[in-house]
Amino acid sequence: MKKSLSMLLAGLMLVGALAGCGGDTASTDSGDSSASGTAFKIGGTAPLTGDAAIYGNAVARGAQIAADEINAQGGIQIELKFEDDENNTEKAVNAYNNLKDWGMQLSLGSVTSKPCEAISTDINTDRIFALTPSASSVATTEGKDNVFQMCFADPNQGTASADYISEQKLGTKIAIIWKNDDVYSTGIHDKFVAEAKAKGLEIVSETTFTDASATDFSVQLNDAKSKGADLIFLPMYYTPASLILTQANSMGYAPKFFGVDGMDGILTVENFDTSLAEGVMLLTPFNADATDDKTVAFVEKYKEAYSEVPNQFAADAYDCIYAYAQALEAAGATPDMSNEELCDAMIEQFTSMTFNGLTGENMTWDSTGAVSKSPKGMVIENGAYVGM
């Protein structure tokens, strides 16, 4: 009796849940059908749930703001759709295929590196042009003529960081803590070490962590401390970085910290004492506190819609949509063009155009798909990013 009751309850919940979502899907469906044929269909896969959801949602939101702005101007109309890939290569391919069924003409690739690598081969064979906001590994674009990046490729960040440190004489003995099961972190680390050697920087301590050990950094910090490192390079995302800062502080160890673009967002970590991040330096293409009109307007809109400060992922996605709009306009593309035609037109545009966006001025792309823009050195002062 008890069992059949629980069965009944489970069944009821199911019906309820299905009914609850019914309304949602119906409304998006009607939106799709009314716009198709007159708007460019741009799709992307993003981790909207799971560990990397913070990046996926930032991209989806940033892109949405840009699409709404462009649609409001009249002219080019954009229809945007994101499918969840859970930061998983298998799910990313499924999500990509789903977008293809939807009729995607232009792709935003994927937010994270590995999923984007997985789908970029398909993107290449299907001849759909892709511009990824944040998948930074080299393998994403390698050998594919129609996959472009809005963010720096990982190696560029490593090299740029080493150059910056040696030029500004920020440290003499450098320690690196990196995540060796992560493409992003490993890619930056390898190039940093190579460039540091070439520039004569002394690396005294190299310690690693993985997903499973991303909660305790006392071993790594003690190693750096005992070897007298005066600067710690942190090529990682901000969540582990915030723990490193907290633990270094409780150890009474205060070297300089230097991060890369993944560090952007550290001031928004919940329960993190932002005073610990004072003096942390990072290279990032986007600064939410910048005072130029574009950034101010974007940050304001983002805050209003989602009540949080946008990070560089949101800004990269925003730029992606605007870059698409500029390229589509220049190419005189129309929404009834097939994805093959659009792909050829976009390759031609992106390799020849110059784009000004939130994350850089005078951006250009070479034929490999890598972007050229200059990273901005930032330092955290009084709880805000300040240009160095």
Partner 1 sequence: MNKLKKYAASRSGRDTLLSFGIVIVAFVVVQALVLTGGISSSMKGLLVPICAYIIMAVSLNLTVGILGELSLGHAGFMSVGAFSGIVVTTSLADTIPSGVVRLILAIIVGAICAAIAGVIVGVPVLRLKGDYLAIVTLAFGEIIKNIINVLYIGKDASGLHFSILEQKFTLDETGSMIINGPMGVSGVEKLSSFVSGFILILITLFIILNLINSRSGRAIMAVRDNKIAADSIGISTTHYKLMAFVISAAFAGMAGALYAMNYSTITAAKFDFNTSILILVFVVLGGLGNIWGSIIAATLLTLLPELLRAVNSYRMLIYAILLIAMMLFNNSSLKERLLEKRAMKQMEKLEKHDKEGA
Would you count residue 211 as binding partner 1 (CB under 8 A)?
yes
Q: Binding to partner 1 by residue 205, rule CB under 8 A?
A: no
Residues 209 and 218: their CA atoms lie apart, in Å, by: 11
Rg of the chain (C-alpha set)? 22
User: 7 vs 251, which CB is nearer to partner 1?
Assistant: 7
Binding mask 13-32 for partner 1 (x = CB under 8 A): xx--xx-xx--xx-------
Q: Which is nearer to partner 1, 260 or 280 (CB)?
A: 260
Rule CB under 8 A: is residue 215 a binding residue for partner 1?
Answer: no
Contacts of the segment 123-130: beta carbons below 8 A, 24+ positions apart: 123/96, 123/147, 126/100, 126/339, 127/339, 127/340, 127/343, 128/100, 128/104, 128/339, 128/343, 129/339, 129/342, 129/343, 129/346, 129/347, 130/106
Count of residues in the chain: 388
Contact map string, positions 161 to 200, toward partner 1, x by CB under 8 A: -------------------xxxx--xx-------------
Nearest distance from C-beta of residue 211 to partner 1, angstroms: 7
Decide if residue 36 touches partner 1 (CB under 8 A). Answer: no
CA 254 – CA 225 distance, rounded (Å)? 9
Taking the complex as a whole, the smallest distance from the CB of residue 144 to partner 1 amounts, in Å, to 10
Comparing C-alpha atoms, which of 171, 140, 157 is closest to residue 254? 171
Pick out residues in 59-78 that bind partner 1 (CB under 8 A): none
Nearest to 208 by CA among 174, 229, 230, 236: 236
Strand ranges, E, within 163-278: 173-179, 202-209, 231-234, 256-259
Count of residues touching partner 1 (by CB under 8 A): 48
Residue 34 is a binding residue for partner 1 (CB under 8 A):
no
Which of positions 103-162 make contact with partner 1 (CB under 8 A)?
A: 114, 117-118, 120-122, 137, 139, 142-143
Residue 203 DSSP one-character state: E
Q: Bridge-partner residues for 363, per DSSP?
A: 355
Which positions lie near partner 1, rule CB under 8 A? 3-4, 6-7, 10-11, 13-14, 17-18, 20-21, 24-25, 48-49, 83-84, 88-91, 93-98, 100-101, 114, 117-118, 120-122, 137, 139, 142-143, 180-183, 186-187, 210-211
